[in-house]
Amino acid sequence: MRHLAACGMAAALTALAAPAYAQNIEPVGDPLEEALTTGPLLPEEVLRSSALTFPSILESFQREAAARSDQLAADGAFDLMLKAETYDRLTGTFSGGYAEVGATQPLRPLGAEVYGTYRLSDGTFPIYENIYNTNELGEFKVGALFSLLRDRRIDNRRFSVEDTRIAASQARLDVLLVQLNVQHEALKAYWRWVAAGNEIRVYEELLEIAQARTVGLSRQVRAGATPRIALTENEQNVIRRKTLLAEAQRNFATAANSLAYYLRDRAGRLITPTREQLPSTEVLDLLPDMQSLLAAGRSDVLENRPELQNFRLAIQRAANKVELRRNDLQPKLDLNVELSRDFGEIGDGGPTFDSTDAIVGVKFTVPLQRREARGRLQRAEAELREMELRERRVADRIEVELDNILTNLNAALELAELADDEVEQASAMVAAERKRFDLGAGDFFLVNLREESAADAQIRAIRADLTGRLAAAGYSAATMDLDELGLE
């Protein structure tokens, strides 16, 4: 079955570069770009071009890069912080001055924070600044702060880190979803272009027959063997077939422009394919048969669809937000542990600073009404329920769409078979009617009728073939067949 042999998805035989390599492509003049402008244009070449150069795919890469940048910024909340401070009295009763340098490191467990400082003072201080005094070699201090209730399991910093991580994963899924949609549309544009070109061939052949017949009929009319009305009728056929050809040429030009939207050079400039680049039927017959697509399983389709994976990540983000809002309802209980020691000779502060001090402190705060926290929690819970319901709706829609695609595939097989049979029968009728006419037993009107019926049958076969190819393209996109879409 010649027309059905190519009804499957266009095989992407050349492996595509991953997003990270999309910018390290060959310069202008590489073999792929030459293939887009010379020789038969094959579907894998169109898919490779759209995957590497289509703007919306490149835009999705940049959105992913922006999401990764947000993730890096959120990780910055746990950066090591260095702080230094110094002051000195230039005039006045007291001469005291000091310098202090310290570092603080936030930690994820228990919302902890560890810190250490070194402080050195000199001169005399008023009694209300006595705390600034140190021994001659200064004071070292280390400590840690722990959250025991609120912020123990989650806080704004840890929430942001996890939220941006999930958002980056969603951005990666968005890249895949954009790629699937673009490749699907590019493949549909390609097959419409091929079908439009095939229709031109049919109408050209039909017109050539009528024009050749004009020459013979003119001779017969001049010889008196045929009435002039036959020549007039044939001229009407020529005009009608020229009209059909002009419409087909217009449709082909439109299809070529639509395909050029996905066919670009390395600089992103559109490449409009010419009729000379139309592939032959023999080349297209090398593509997989559509029956192989129907035999493919559906077990992992819903699990792997990027839309549903995106929803699952969105639900996880919403659940994390609910946990953060529940954290806001808890009272805040912080534990502070600190150890300090002065070294060297006793300074101006006296012997009271010459000791090792261990300090434990507890701080407790709680809003009594907590209306703000309760309102935020209720909103977060409502958003989580909404996301779960949306996931269910989209999952059902995808399943229905997949069932419809399979139905269309089966119907396309049957219609293409019938169209092929119709072409064979119509061609046989044309041959028989022409033979009868040549023998003088046929009718000129019937010959024209048979020829146009055969042409109509060929057009229907071309369009049935196109329907099968479009259905196969939709099936490959729905089942995420990356190899068929040129993304593997």
CA–CA distance, 17 with 53 (Å, rounded to integer)? 11
pLDDT at 409: 78
User: Stretch 255-268: mean pLDDT, rounded?
Assistant: 91
pLDDT for 383 beyond 80:
yes
Tell me, what's the pLDDT at 440? Answer: 56
pLDDT at 128 over 70: yes
Residue 246's pLDDT is 95
Give me the pLDDT at residue 403, please.
82
Q: What is the mean pLDDT of residues 18-26?
A: 37
pLDDT score for 284? 61
Per-residue pLDDT, averaged over 45-59, amounts to: 93
Max Cα–Cα distance, the chain, nearest Å: 140
pLDDT of residue 10: 32
Binned at pLDDT 50, 70 and 90, residue 108 comes out as very high
- The pLDDT tens digits of the residues spanning 196-224 come to 999 999 999 888 888 877 777 677 677 77
Residues 92, 207: contact at Cβ < 8 Å?
no
Lowest mean pLDDT among 124-128, 289-293, 349-353: 289-293
pLDDT digits (tens, 9 = 90+) for 447-468: 677 777 788 888 888 888 888 8
pLDDT of residue 282: 61
As a whole number, mean pLDDT of residues 374-386 equals 93
Confidence of residue 315 (pLDDT cuts 50, 70, 90): very high
Highest mean pLDDT among 5-19, 32-46, 276-290, 393-407: 393-407
Q: How confident is the model at residue 62 (pLDDT cuts 50, 70, 90)?
A: very high
Per-residue confidence (pLDDT) for residue 17, from 0 to 100: 33
Q: Across residues 321-343, what is the average pLDDT?
A: 92
How confident is the model at residue 32, as a pLDDT?
Answer: 60
pLDDT of residue 439: 57
Band (pLDDT 50/70/90 cuts) for residue 188 is: very high
What is the pLDDT, as a whole number, of residue 351? Answer: 81
- Tell me which of 223 and 4 has the higher pLDDT: 223
- As a whole number of angstroms, the distance between CA 289 and CA 132 comes to 85
| In the predicted structure, residue 283 carries a pLDDT above the cut 60 | no
pLDDT at position 221 is 72
Report whether 485 contacts 9 (CB < 8 A). yes
Nearest by Cα to 236 from 452, 1, 9: 452
Please name the amino acid found at residue 31.
P
